[in-house]
Amino acid sequence: MYEIDGDFGKVRLGNFVFSSRAAQMLMCFSGIGWHKCNELYRISRKDGYHFPLIIFTVGGKGVLKAAENEYTLSAGSVAVIEKDVPHEYFTPHGSEWEFYWIHPSGTVCNMFLSYFLSDLNGERVFMSESIERYTDRVKSLINYLENEKTLSERYVCAEFAQIMYTLINDRGKYKKGQNRLSDEIIGYFERYYNENITIETLSKKFFVSSAHLIRQFKKESGYTPYEYLTLIRVTKACRLLEYTDMSVSEIADCVGIHNTSRFIEKFKAVTSLTPVVYRKTHI
């Protein structure tokens, strides 16, 4: 339904068939698109849907009903609906609604969305500080899928992953402008992940006790500071394995883990692969 332009409005769609390996290990999606719709547009899924849904509103107004809650989707809003949750969304009477959407798929995306929603106290909609960070990449992916004759699974996964990482970074910021301790620490990790970071370092930097820092970070993010730092380092290492010829030991140093054996151990714990095998399967 709504796969071509109609009385309801205009659409653009992008589809890509991912390999089974990518679906298990990487960020994937089952569909991606853009809609500009009038009041005739309505989607109703009383039994939910077998993929999650993310909606990025760029103009006009839409309405989302999910799990007995109703939300108004205005420009700048991001809505996330889990898979199998009954929901309905539509353009209200007399209005137009322009939005981009994605159906994430695969094990990794389900874990990410579960993490994202865990701190939102049941809410599924928040206002983004810069919706263009999402929509520019969605638009770029649609253009790529429409126009390129030879499609790269690695490129599609990498671009989509950036959308999902942006979602994680925006997590919780809708809360009345609060600056959470975990957000500040994660920002610090992103800038200085290649340096020697300890709990004592963070405690002094953010003027809190070590015990409070660990407890609060875990409460807000679902991870210990060390676990989250390891995830960032491994994510950076994955990009270096994919796009450079650096050796494993050089990459370990570059991401701040200066013992190669320990780096391999941490990398495998996160990805289930050694760095060498990861590189072979992602080139």
Closest CA to 69 of 51, 88, 83: 88
Look up residue 120 and give its amino acid.
L
Q: Which residues in the chain are classed under CATH 1.10.10.60?
A: 181-281
User: What is the pLDDT, as a whole number, of residue 173?
Assistant: 54
Q: What is the chain's alpha carbon radius of gyration, rounded to the nearest angstrom?
A: 20
Residue 177's pLDDT is what? 47
| C-beta separation of 267 from 237 below 8 A | yes
Convert the chain into a string of H (helix), E (strand) and C (coil): CCCCCECCEEEEEECCCCCHHHHHHCCEEEEEEEEEECCCCEEEECCCCCCCEEEEEEEEEEEEEECCEEEEEECCEEEEECCCCCEEEECCCCCCEEEEEEEEECHHHHHHHHHHHCCCCCCCEEECCCCHHHHHHHHHHHHHHHHCCCCCHHHHHHHHHHHHHHHHHHCCCCCCCCCCHHHHHHHHHHHHCCCCCCHHHHHHHHCCCHHHHHHHHHHHHCCCHHHHHHHHHHHHHHHHHHHCCCCHHHHHHHCCCCCHHHHHHHHHHHHCCCHHHHHHHCC
Query: Under CATH, which number does the domain 9-170 receive?
Result: 2.60.120.280
Residues of the chain within CATH 2.60.120.280 domain(s) are 9-170
Question: What is the C-alpha to C-alpha distance for residues 151 and 66, in angstroms, rounded to an integer?
Answer: 35
pTM to 2 decimal places = 0.64
Measured distance CA(191)–CA(221) in Å, rounded: 18
Sign of the dihedral defined by the CA atoms of residues 241, 244, 250, 256, in that order: negative
Residue 256 tokens read as 């701040």
Q: Where do we find the tokens 């009383």?
A: 46
Q: What is the pLDDT of residue 159?
A: 85
Position 176 scores a pLDDT of 43
Contact 256, 197 (CB under 8 A): yes
CATH of the domain spanning 181-281, picked from 3.20.20.60, 2.40.50.100, 1.10.10.60, 1.10.1050.10: 1.10.10.60
- Residue 166 CB contacts under 8 Å (≥ 6 apart), including other chains: 133, 134, 137
CA 235 to chain centre: 13
| pLDDT tens over the chain, length 283 residues | 566 889 999 999 988 888 888 777 778 999 999 999 999 999 999 999 999 999 999 999 999 999 888 999 999 999 999 989 999 999 999 999 999 999 999 887 887 787 777 666 667 888 887 788 899 989 999 988 988 777 888 888 888 888 888 887 776 554 444 557 887 898 889 889 999 999 999 999 888 899 999 999 888 777 899 998 998 899 889 889 988 899 999 999 999 999 999 999 999 888 888 999 988 876 6
